[in-house]
Structure 1
Amino acid sequence: MSPVATTTVTQIKPPTATLSLRGDSEKPKENAHKTDLAKNPFERVWRGNREGTIRMGGVPKFDDPYEERKWIKEHMAGAFRYWGKLGFGEGTAGHITVRDPVLKDHYWMNPFGMHFSMIKASDLVLVSPDGFVTEHGAQLPINEAGYVIHHTLHKLRPDVVAAAHCHSIHAKTWSAFGRPIDIMQQDACLFHDNLSVYENYGGIVLSDQEGKNIADALGPKNMCVIMQNHGLLTLGRTVDECVYLFALLEKTCQQQLLAEAAEANGLKKRIISPEDAAYTAENNGYWETMYNNFTPEFELLKKETNGEFLQ
């Protein structure tokens, strides 16, 4: 049993922007924020034809929960293949869970000790609310720490469908600082007012209390957390959103490490203003847009594997 950590949560406030003027007479540039926007943020990021017959597809809706279950498992398997492709494997560490649309208090999870790059939809395990493998999925063991973290998150965050955690290299490196990332590039704006830091490390997670500590650090709305000395955890309204956010935050941790090294050698980084970061997050960070951001990777994986992971 791991020692119980005392929860310390960093409430991340948007950083104050610094503006470097090239001359005393030069005034700060006013933001060119468009205000007459479509009500649905997803409708703001793409454009079709004048007649409205060319449209982007959003998250599909299902009348049959068993068809939705099949779709979820296929996208989960694609998410794991994506992690494998990015080199996120670290022994038996790492797990993604997604709520089941049929048995709504159950969730799907990867089997213990199977490489991400090998996982197929039929390899996924359906876990009961009390953490045991059920007869409805693959008959394989699951990761104990994964159960402890995820069952607490699914209980305390009913607004989310999916949760993901693994030990990617740049994330676990940056996590040693116990600091948030700086909003210094457009993609990073998706983490504006959406990222927590859990500032304790209580050993390998085998205690329900540690799972609750992580959930408390996330709070009622944040979708991402940096766990000090551990790595990242992200949430999503679909597994696609969840895994896209995870990969983006891993890349942003890499960017942060590069920027810190450059700043240590005399270069000064410039932070995006809270106003601009919030505007970008509002328009680019909508959950259905996040789903579509993973679609190119999912479709490429299908082509590269001849759809083998869908089985």
Structure 2
Amino acid sequence: MAAVMETRPQALIKDGKVSIYQPEQEGLIFPELPSFSNPAAQRQHVKERLVGACRAFAQQGFDYGFAGHLTVRDPENPGLYWTNPMAIHFSQVKVSNLICADHQGHVVEGRHAINRAGFVLHAAVHEMHQDIVAMCHAHTVYGTAFASLGRQLEPITQDAAAFYEDHVVIGDEAGQVAVEVKAGHKVANAFRDVKAAIHQNHGLLTASRHSIESAAFWFIALERCCQQQLLVESTGIAPKLVTPERARYSREHVGSDYIGWLHFQAIWDDLVATQPDMFD
């Protein structure tokens, strides 16, 4: 059987590479995208990385009670997605307590309930955009604070440039808890050809057409960029912005789904070394 992967084809830059960060010199240790001989192996991989993303959110202090949900599409059954269980702290998510649900919010595998708000938002995005494989949301300090401004990030740094023309602000039903299905449809409409959204008076959302690792890293990065912009604005001094041309160049080279996946590999290796109970 041919190998299958959870990643979508990437635009090649040269010599079969998808990033200038891939080494030209052969024989060096460098993260490689996985391949799989069967769907079961791919599913196990996807579930483990979903757990890793939850643990990474715990490390970042992204917990807020039962709020926050991460999802990844099942590699064999695209109408199903895996997500963290309701009311379980990010630090306690493990392979054995993940749940699998359909786009109607019915749990088809697992013992825990599903987060209603997570189902409304994520299921709508997964259903409307078949190319999106993963999505992340949490109630974070800086992202939620910045979301109250109803503004996009400015390209004040190279890191922020990764989101230049690649994120949107969603004003629909701002501040109203998303428990009605129609709210999910409005959020889903915004995720056309972007990797991130700032939901006014609510918080941050990221989506990936590549992997859960990419969606998780870009969420972490977006939170940091919100923090940085709030810090800069607190000085009262107008920052010097990266020019549009340079911002687009930086986004092209450090803002792709692949780069998000690559960044997450350092986080993953640390989690494997320090939190082996992830795999229970």
TM-score, normalisation: structure 2: 0.91
1:203 maps onto 2:176 in alignment: yes
Cα displacement string for residues 92-123 of structure 1 (whole angstroms, at most 9, x for unaligned residues): 10001100012221000111100001110111
1:284 aligns with one of 249, 254, 275: 254
1:56 maps onto 2:56 in alignment: no
Query: Could you tell me how far apart the structure 1 residues matched to 2:15 and 2:205 are?
Result: 30
Larger radius of gyration: 1
Query: Could you tell me how far apart the structure 1 residues matched to 2:81 and 2:269 are?
Result: 24
Where has structure 1 moved over 4 Å in runs of 4 or more? none
C-alpha deviation, 1:172, in angstroms = 0.3
How is 1:39-50 mapped onto 2 (pairs within 5 angstroms)? 42-49=18-25
Aligned-partner SS, 1:80: helix
1:84 maps onto 2:58 in alignment: yes
Please tell me the residue identity of whatever aligns with 1:286: S
Q: Could you list the runs of 5+ residues in structure 1 that have no partner in the other structure?
A: 1-36
C-alpha deviation, 1:59, in angstroms = 2.1
Cα displacement string for residues 248-278 of structure 1 (whole angstroms, at most 9, x for unaligned residues): 000000001001111x2xx331000110011
1:146 maps onto 2:118 in alignment: yes
Q: Evaluate the alpha carbon distance shift between residue 256 and residue 43 of structure 1 in structure 2; reply closer, same or farther with a 3 A threshold.
A: closer
C-alpha deviation, 1:53, in angstroms = 2.9
Identical positions, percent: 30
In structure 1, what is the equivalent of residue 278 of structure 2? 309
C-alpha deviation, 1:39, in angstroms = 5.9
CA contact (8 A) 1:165 1:233 kept: yes
CA contact (8 A) 1:178 1:228 kept: yes
1:214 aligns with one of 184, 187, 193: 187
TM-score, normalisation: structure 1: 0.82
Please tell me the residue identity of whatever aligns with 1:121: V
Q: Evaluate the alpha carbon distance shift between residue 258 and residue 41 of structure 1 in structure 2; reply closer, same or farther with a 3 A threshold.
A: farther
2:164 aligns with one of 180, 189, 192: 192
Higher relative contact order (CA 8 A, sep 6+): 1
In structure 1, what is the equivalent of residue 243 of structure 2? 273
In structure 2, what is the equivalent of residue 167 of structure 1? 139
In structure 2, what is the equivalent of residue 9 of structure 1? none
How is 1:215-254 mapped onto 2 (pairs within 5 angstroms)? 215-218=188-191, 220-236=192-208, 237-254=210-227
C-alpha deviation, 1:38, in angstroms = 2.5
Q: Evaluate the alpha carbon distance shift between residue 40 and residue 250 of structure 1 in structure 2; reply closer, same or farther with a 3 A threshold.
A: farther
Query: Could you tell me how far apart the structure 2 residues matched to 1:77 and 1:275 are?
Result: 37
Q: Evaluate the alpha carbon distance shift between residue 280 and residue 39 of structure 1 in structure 2; reply closer, same or farther with a 3 A threshold.
A: farther
Please tell me the residue identity of whatever aligns with 1:245: W
Query: Could you tell me how far apart the structure 1 residues matched to 2:103 and 2:125 are?
Result: 12
In structure 2, what is the equivalent of residue 102 of structure 1? 76
C-alpha deviation, 1:286, in angstroms = 2.5
Query: Could you tell me how far apart the structure 2 residues matched to 1:193 and 1:61 are?
Result: 31
C-alpha deviation, 1:91, in angstroms = 0.7
CA contact (8 A) 2:105 2:114 kept: no
In structure 2, what is the equivalent of residue 27 of structure 1? none
Q: Evaluate the alpha carbon distance shift between residue 66 and residue 169 of structure 1 in structure 2; reply closer, same or farther with a 3 A threshold.
A: same
C-alpha deviation, 1:282, in angstroms = 1.0
1:155 maps onto 2:127 in alignment: yes
Query: Could you tell me how far apart the structure 1 residues matched to 2:16 and 2:201 are?
Result: 38
Query: Could you tell me how far apart the structure 2 residues matched to 1:44 and 1:225 are?
Result: 27
Please tell me the residue identity of whatever aligns with 2:199: M
C-alpha deviation, 1:310, in angstroms = 1.9
Aligned length: 266
- Note the aligned Cα RMSD (angstroms): 1.5
